[in-house]
Chain A
């Protein structure tokens, strides 16, 4: 692949010029990269990218950026992408940062090739292929980083939103916040049943004050949880049913299958105390 060797030697010879031209291009085009990353960082990363590009072209060729020769380039771009995302750059802006190298690089190729149109065409094609691939790579990295963040947040939310509270000896409460989907129901069920085994609770109160809507699916999940608790020998009371939810449940024709329901957690707690042979009374003063 003579044209690639040509490109990489060209990069080696004119590294300094190219870097200056590129930075000028970045400043002139008004891209936010320079302002957001800071001039010093932008200069450093541009220099590293050019060096990595040279290594990649010399070792791996322009056909693919998968090989080990391109590892350095991928590393630099991952860093740029990550730092940029943290500083508030969009994936598009990061990709434009890479693509802005095209103009100075093509200018350099044109000067070098002179009148040899065929060589110029070849070199321009290789250069554009590589830069496009690298730009796409930054977008992929940004996407992946974002997905990881979303997954972590989902996991954190699941853990945060399913506490099982002990209200009294033998009485547990499970305040549910947010919509119940199958995955959450599974986790809610598991944590409730495990707490039942730990505490030997006889009554569990499921409070749905924080559940925004109850449709047939949510109701089914609630019934499942109640049934699983019953199989372990624990009675469940559902509390915190708001007026609108009571209406929806009836309109949807959801059958709560003989599950005990109460309007508020306080009512449910009083019932639970009564069932376990206790009562709350005021003190005469």
Chain B
């Protein structure tokens, strides 16, 4: 079965979405991610969607749900690498994802997470 890999980088988890999402994949991702967060005690989750070029309300809701679940488990979520077309589509759909932090790329996302956690050493330390 298809799975979206979740990489551990220091105290953060990195999720790179590279395939089209469907119900089952989203469900698996939510299961995997929540259990990884509680296993590792990760404080931050980085979701890279730079290779996603098609979104619908389903993906938008999925991202919001994942972020909400991570927050319950005391981890910050940053969505990085959203493409212009994707951003416009989400806004037109009325999904401006108010609860999610965003950044232009993984680098910036990491910095944002470190700042949010008030932690200068971050993932490397």
Which positions in A face B, CB cutoff 8 Å?
Answer: 186, 189-190, 193-194, 196-197, 200, 202, 224, 227-234
Are the C-beta atoms of B96 and A186 separated by less than 8 Å? no
Q: Which residues of A contact B97 (CB under 8 A)?
A: 231
How far, in angstroms, from A262 to B93 measured CA to CA in the complex?
28
Given A197-B104, A200-B104, are A231 and B87 also a contact pair (CB < 8 Å)? yes
CA distance A190 to B87 in the complex (A): 10
Which chain A positions have C-beta within 8 A of B90? Answer: 228, 231
A228 touches B104 (CB 8 A): no
Chain A residues whose CB sits within 8 angstroms of the CB of B96 once the complex forms: 227-228, 230-231
In the complex, chain A residues whose CB is within 8 Å of the CB of B105 = 200, 233
A197 to B105, CA, bound (A): 9
Docked-complex contact A227 and B91, CB < 8 angstroms: yes
Contact A231 B104 (CB under 8 A): no
In the complex, B42 has a CB within 8 A of chain A: no
- B67-95 vs A, CB cutoff 8 Å, 1 = contact: the mask equals 00000000000011011101110111000
The answer for the CA separation of A200 and B106 in the assembled complex, in Å, is 12
Number of A-B contacts (CB under 8 A): 56
A148 and B84 alpha carbons, distance in the complex (Å): 31
Query: A234 to B108, alpha carbons, bound, how many Å?
Result: 11
**Extra 20 A-B pairs, beta carbons < 8 Å, given A190-B88, A232-B87:** A186-B88, A189-B88, A189-B91, A196-B104, A197-B104, A200-B104, A227-B96, A228-B84, A228-B87, A228-B91, A230-B102, A231-B82, A231-B87, A231-B90, A231-B96, A231-B97, A231-B102, A232-B82, A232-B102, A233-B102
Q: CA separation between A98 and B63, bound complex, in Å?
A: 67
In Å, the complex CA distance between A169 and B43 comes to 31
Note all chain B residues with C-beta closer than 8 A to A202. 104, 108
B103 within 8 A of A: yes
- Within the complex, what minimum Cβ distance (angstroms) separates B85 from chain A? 8
Contact with A along B28-44 (1 / 0, CB 8 A): 00000000000000000
Give the shortest distance, in Å, between A29 (CB) and chain B (any CB).
58
Which residue of B91, B92, B104 is within 8 Å of A233 (Cβ)?
Answer: B104
Complex Cα gap A194–B108 (Å): 18
In the assembly, what is the distance between CA of A232 and CA of B97, in Å? 11
With a CB–CB cut-off of 8 A, which chain A residues contact B82? 231-233
Chain A residues whose CB sits within 8 angstroms of the CB of B91 once the complex forms: 189, 224, 227-228, 231
Q: Are A197 and B102 in contact (CB under 8 A)?
A: no
A259 to B113, CA, bound (A): 22
